[in-house]
């Protein structure tokens, strides 16, 4: 997922919660969770994001997508202060007993190039430039990334590790993809040796392109799970006229990827718009409704049930319109961030959408 994390210093609030009654005979095979991505970068909204996790989820996705501290990791130096504080904040705010998914992006926001240098590092600019000039499979890059991953793993003690967020872009340059595939092969082998008992995987963006599917096939030796990243409303063929009604999805849209290999299946991240999405810079004009969002959540939950998924991650629990304004004021905003702004289970004012209640209904099922 494609967002810059800001330093999150906050205090956890304890709130009461209510759940919707469910048929006690109903079961679910998969854990349900979100990331702590907040509606705005304020203590109140960050608290609210963790309240949802701690009361209405049984897994949390700690997602890191703001670059890699290559120099610090490679030389075993202390990690950047802001990164250390962010990690400790996440750990301290997550309730004991939650399953942990650690998701880290070795690619930058384009998902076709090596990750940029960590956003908040104070390392000299010349050193950053030198690192950014190296190909993704350079031995130093591989060593730095493995050490960075190891630091995060040893900090979070995750149950699941996505070490290659969204790795199969159809837009990859052929030579760059060959280098990246070599990078993943080396990282997978080394992390497997270090952490043999934790599932390691890369995630695949679901689309209808032959190139994206072929790239995913080539990465199967380096993943324990078939892990999907899906935001279909952006580019699915059934939305070419603007309608994002999930009932119109082409047949086997998800099933094709689920069947790509006889490996356990997970939804590493997903979401769906509940409002219209208009982003002229990306030539996007899509119709979104709360009803269609709810239909999509039900569809993806049923899919997870049918195929006995291990877990399903919905990216954010509340719309982040206010967060977009904050990012704009800080000079960190990109139009790209608008693509997921209105995918919350709650609207910008915090009012539950129908999808929120559907989420509670599924959460109320006994996990087996």
**Main-chain dihedrals φ then ψ at residue 227, nearest 5 degrees:** -115, 125
Q: What pLDDT score does 106 carry?
A: 98
Angle at which helices 174-194 and 210-218 pack, to 10 degrees? 40
Q: What pLDDT score does 116 carry?
A: 97
Question: CA 172, CA 161: separation in Å to the nearest integer?
Answer: 23
Choice between 12 and 82, residue whose per-residue pLDDT is larger = 82
34: β partners: 60, 314
Average pLDDT over residues 113-135: 96
Q: What pLDDT score does 157 carry?
A: 98
pTM of the model: 0.92
Q: What pLDDT score does 4 carry?
A: 34
pLDDT tens digits, residue range 27-49?
999 999 999 999 999 999 999 99
Q: Is the pLDDT of residue 323 over 80?
A: yes
**Main-chain dihedrals φ then ψ at residue 29, nearest 5 degrees:** -90, -15
Q: Which of these ranges, 22-26, 87-91, 268-272, 345-349, has the smallest mean pLDDT?
A: 22-26
CB 146 within 8 A of CB 162: no
CB atoms within 10 A of CB 123: 16
Q: Which of these ranges, 21-25, 142-146, 160-164, 290-294, has the smallest mean pLDDT?
A: 21-25
pLDDT tens digits, residue range 51-93?
999 999 999 999 999 999 999 999 999 999 999 999 999 999 9
Q: What pLDDT score does 332 carry?
A: 87
Average pLDDT over residues 319-345: 95
pLDDT tens digits, residue range 263-277?
999 999 999 999 999
């Amino acid at each position: 997922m494609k967002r810059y994390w800001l330093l999150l210093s906050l205090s956890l609030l304890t709130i009461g919660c209510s759940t919707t009654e469910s048929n006690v005979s109903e079961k679910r095979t998969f854990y349900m969770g979100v990331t702590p991505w907040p509606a705005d970068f304020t203590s109140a909204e960050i608290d609210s994001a963790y309240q949802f996790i701690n009361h209405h989820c049984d897994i949390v996705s700690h997602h890191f997508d703001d670059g890699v501290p290559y120099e610090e990791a490679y030389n075993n130096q202390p990690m950047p202060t802001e990164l250390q504080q962010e990690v400790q904040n996440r750990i301290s705010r997550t309730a004991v007993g939650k399953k942990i998914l650690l998701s880290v992006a070795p690619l930058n926001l384009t998902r076709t190039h090596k990750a940029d240098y960590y956003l908040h590092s104070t390392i000299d600019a010349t050193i950053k430039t030198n690192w950014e000039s190296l190909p993704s499979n350079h031995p130093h890059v591989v060593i730095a990334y493995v050490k960075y991953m190891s630091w995060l793993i040893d900090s979070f003690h995750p149950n699941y590790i996505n070490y290659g967020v969204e790795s199969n872009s159809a837009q990859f340059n052929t030579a760059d993809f060959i280098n990246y595939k070599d990078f993943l092969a080396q990282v997978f082998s080394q992390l497997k040796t270090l952490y043999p008992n934790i599932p390691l995987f890369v995630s695949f963006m679901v689309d209808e392109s032959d190139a994206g599917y072929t790239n995913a096939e080539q990465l199967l030796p380096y993943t324990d799970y078939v892990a999907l990243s899906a935001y279909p409303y952006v580019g699915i063929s059934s939305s070419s006229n603007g309608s994002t009604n999930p009932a119109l999805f082409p047949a086997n849209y998800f099933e094709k990827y689920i069947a790509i290999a006889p490996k356990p299946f997970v939804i590493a991240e997903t979401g769906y718009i509940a409002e219209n999405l208009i982003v002229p810079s990306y030539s996007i004009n899509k119709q979104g409704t709360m009803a269609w969002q709810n239909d999509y959540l039900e569809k993806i939950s049923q899919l997870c049930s049918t195929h006995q998924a291990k877990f399903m991650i919905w990216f954010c629990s509340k719309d982040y319109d206010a967060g977009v304004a904050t990012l704009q004021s800080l000079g960190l905003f990109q139009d790209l961030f608008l693509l997921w702004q209105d995918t919350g289970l709650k609207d910008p004012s915090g009012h539950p959408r129908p999808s929120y209640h559907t989420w509670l209904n599924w959460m109320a099922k006994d996990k087996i």
